[in-house]
Amino acid sequence: MIEVKDLTYHYRIDQPIQFPDFSYQQGQQALILGESGCGKTTLLHLLSGLLKPKKGFVSIDGKKLNGLSGAQLDKFRGANIGIVFQTPHFIEALSVKENLQFAQTLAGNKKDTEAIKSILSDLGIGHKLNDSVKSLSQGEKQRVTIARALVNQPKLILADEPTSALDDKNCRAVVKLLKEQAKKNNATLLIVTHDNRLNDEFEQKLKLS
Ligand SMILES: Nc1ncnc2c1ncn2[C@@H]1O[C@H](COP(=O)(O)OP(=O)(O)OP(=O)(O)O)[C@@H](O)[C@H]1O
């Protein structure tokens, strides 16, 4: 489903970041672990095509991201990849529903309020549908971030440190939600983190150094 080979990136040419080769099948769930600064966010941006590798490739469903133009990449990402970013960012002037509808439109899909209601209800925030995102608590914002990553039923879900700011209870809840939602859609789930609390939750682990 996803394959990474010879992947190298650098922000400064004298400081290359090399990543190990790996591949995961459709529906697999894995943790990508590593200390702060080792390149986790960089890897996630490479996997989603937000950064272009200096060497090597990322291939998703047999399609090498390097070969796609900017516009093709945007479309491919919208249709196939859901990203849970480290810090939630929404269009503040819009409601939860409108933010999620916007994500559907961006991916080239029709607005589907029923699908939005269903995901929000799975995430325990169905009653927040028409609320302004500005009015949400941090934990609720985190759930809307997850909802936005899932709303287009992506084949691949990438999450960047989704639990590092959460207490133990919410940490367990967010991991459970991500795993359940990925399973429901048979999506591949990759979580990059330095949160060791997630260690026991996943059989598949990849360590970056
Ligand atoms: N825009 C940038 N310009 C220059 N260097 C950068 C940039 N972004 C990241 N780096 C450097 O690249 C390395 C990897 O950064 P990255 O953010 O991928 O690490 P990380 O493992 O996600 O860290 P953390 O766990 O602290 O978020 C770090 O040394 C960082 O300082």
Note the ipTM here: 0.96
Ligand 1 atom 29 nearest Cα? 37
Ligand 1 atom 28 nearest Cα? 37
Superfamily (CATH H level) for 2-207: P-loop containing nucleotide triphosphate hydrolases (3.40.50.300)
**16 in ligand 1 pocket by Cβ < 6 Å?**
no
Q: At what angle do helices 138-150 and 96-106 cross, to 10 degrees?
A: 30
**38 in ligand 1 pocket by Cβ < 6 Å?**
yes
In this prediction the pTM is: 0.90
Confidence class of residue 169 from pLDDT cuts 50, 70 and 90? confident
Tokens 């941006």 correspond to 45
- Let me know: does 47 contact 58? Beta carbons within 8 Å: yes
pLDDT per position as a tens digit, 2-61: 999 999 999 999 999 999 999 999 999 999 999 889 999 999 999 999 999 999 999 999
> What strand order describes the sheet that includes 204-207?
81-84, 156-160, 188-193, 29-33, 204-207
Q: Dihedrals φ, ψ of 76, to 5°?
A: -60, -45
Q: What is the pLDDT of residue 53?
A: 96
CB neighbourhood size of 105 (10 A): 12
User: Domain segments of the chain: what residues?
Assistant: 2-207
Q: What is the pLDDT of residue 149?
A: 92
Structure tokens at 28: 């697999």
